[in-house]
Chain A
Amino acid sequence: MFNKIYDWVDERLDITPIWRDIADHEVPEHVNPAHHFSAFVYCFGGLTFFVTVIQILSGMFLTMYYVPDIKNAWESVYYLQNHVAFGQIVRGMHHWGASLVIVMMFLHTLRVFFQGAYKKPRELNWLVGVGIFFVMLALGLTGYLLPWDMKALFATKVTIQIVESTPFIGEMLKTLIAGDASIVGAQTITRFFAIHVFFLPAVLFGLMAAHFIMIRKQGISGPL
């Protein structure tokens, strides 16, 4: 049954080469923890991706309840956490996952750095990776405001003060991210929400695609 459907689609769209191209590649011995246990360090990158997928899925479920508004943001988070079935688990996954992404990404960066895996011909992929690192930090920063509790508001005020102290363009940058020259409020939370949920993930997907295409194209770096 499944085969027939597959063949029917494949005859029309020739989909086999698309997924075979992703599926058919070799995994060298030196990255395979089944052969060398110390190769578990090569898992960090994949686990970063895994946690990122968890973040995307749990984030999608959070937006089913979350309201980006100074009155209802906190109320909606409180309701989700205390009255919705498994709401605490979904929010917990997104909250702790945010820290875990940073941890796994940090370990992955150190693995690549200490193995000198960023050297020619992989310089570009390192640059893209550093870009992903910054996008992740920005996601953590913007997501911290969204529950609109005390620590969210006051940490964001500090962030905005730092942004404001940028030489020459500080005032403009502040207005751009806070939505107002002096108020941290309704405009700020909608902006941070839009940045956290639409702008940064869009950039992140582009960078991750580039990261993976480059790995696939060049292959993983050889043994030391």
Chain B
Amino acid sequence: MHRGKGMKFVGDSRISAERKTFIPKDYSEYPGKTEAFWPNFLLKEWMVGAVFLVGFLCLTIAHEPPLEKIADPSDTAYIPLPDWYFLFLYQLLKYTYASGPYNVIGAFIIPGLVFGALALAPFIDRGPERRPSKRPFATGFMILALAGVTFLTWESVAHHDWEAAAEQGKIVADAEVDTEAEGYKLMEANTCLTCHGNELQGGAGAPALIDVELSPEEIKDVIHNGRGAMPGGIFTGSDEELDKVVEFIDSIESE
């Protein structure tokens, strides 16, 4: 940097009036095949980025981002699930000695130790060696941690009821349900609504009864003999009452 007397500035600013010429450095004396970042290497990075972006856009086109129905705090049967990268923590909190009275162990001590060790790795693994094979403890503990996270995620995925999960969050079309109708009253009296919902919107264990595609005979059959998680014989009214219920269910259509 030029200092001292004889300096010229642009106006009254601190910008030097003397133009320096910038010639890109010559990397030929550097070891190996070193190249300039600008513009040589940046162009290659740009191409990697472009290929990556195309792949990413294909993903977004092929898979619609999921959206469940609007949050309903009154649905107490909903089984919650975090995003996939939190599943291992979620699973950890299900084990006996990591939950309930031992919650502090599962929620704070174990994750704290693991992530604390990760953050402090440079201060724990202080030797000069960098090759994984020359750092058996660092490598070993990391592989152990990876195996643990993989196992917990796997367990969480295996224990989750994905079909029920897909069913419980489905966006349901709104329908005008006449709660004064005789059919509605009968469904209420026979506890149909306990599972199928007060607006027939369905719940965690039972489908919505809006826009049912079954014929009246098939609906009758389901009520008599049950289907899926629903046992038969819940409806205890007379045959005429059953006809009214079937007619009522058949009449519920979305707007």
Contact = CB atoms under 8 A, between A and B. Distances in A.
A130 interface: yes
A5 interface: no
Contacts of B123: 123
B10 A12 contact: yes
A122 B142 CA distance: 19
A165 B64 contact: no
A195 interface: no
A92 B60 contact: yes
Contacts of B63: 92, 96
Contacts of A117: 130
A70 B72 CA distance: 10
Given A46-B45, A157-B80, A115 B130 contact: yes
B151 interface: no
Nearest to B127: A119
B56 A100 contact: yes
A23 B37 contact: yes
A213 B122 CA distance: 19
B154 interface: no
A73 to B, nearest CB: 9
Interface string A16-31: 1100100111111110
Contact of A114 (B81, B118, B119, B142): B142
B70 to A, nearest CB: 4
B67 interface: yes
B15 A153 contact: no
SS class of chain A's interface: helix, strand, loop or mixed? Answer: helix
B83 A99 contact: yes
Interface stretch (A137-145, A173-181, A199-207): A137-145
A74 B69 CA distance: 8
Contacts, number: 210
Contact of A78 (B67, B107, B118, B119): B67
A113 B142 contact: yes
B92 to A, nearest CB: 11
A123 B121 CA distance: 9
Given A50-B52, A147-B67, A224-B130, A93 B82 contact: no
B3 to A, nearest CB: 16
A97 interface: yes
Given A96-B65, A118-B121, A158-B82, A166 B56 contact: no
Contacts of B131: 116, 224
Given A165-B104, A184-B73, A29 B31 contact: yes
Contact of B27 (A26, A89, A147): A26
Interface in A143-163: 144, 147-155, 157-159, 162
Interface string B24-37: 11010011111111
Interface string A73-104: 01101100100000011011111111110100
Contacts of A221: 130
B132 to A, nearest CB: 5
A110 B146 CA distance: 10
B254 to A, nearest CB: 15
Contacts of A217: none
B174 interface: no
Interface in B113-154: 115, 118-119, 121-123, 125-126, 128-132, 135, 138-139, 142
Given A26-B37, A110-B142, A151-B80, 16 more contacts: A27-B35, A74-B71, A91-B65, A92-B60, A99-B84, A100-B56, A113-B121, A114-B139, A114-B142, A116-B130, A118-B121, A119-B122, A134-B115, A144-B82, A155-B82, A162-B107
18 contacts: A20-B22, A26-B34, A27-B34, A27-B35, A28-B32, A43-B45, A43-B48, A47-B48, A96-B65, A114-B139, A116-B138, A126-B119, A150-B168, A153-B73, A155-B82, A157-B80, A167-B104, A221-B130
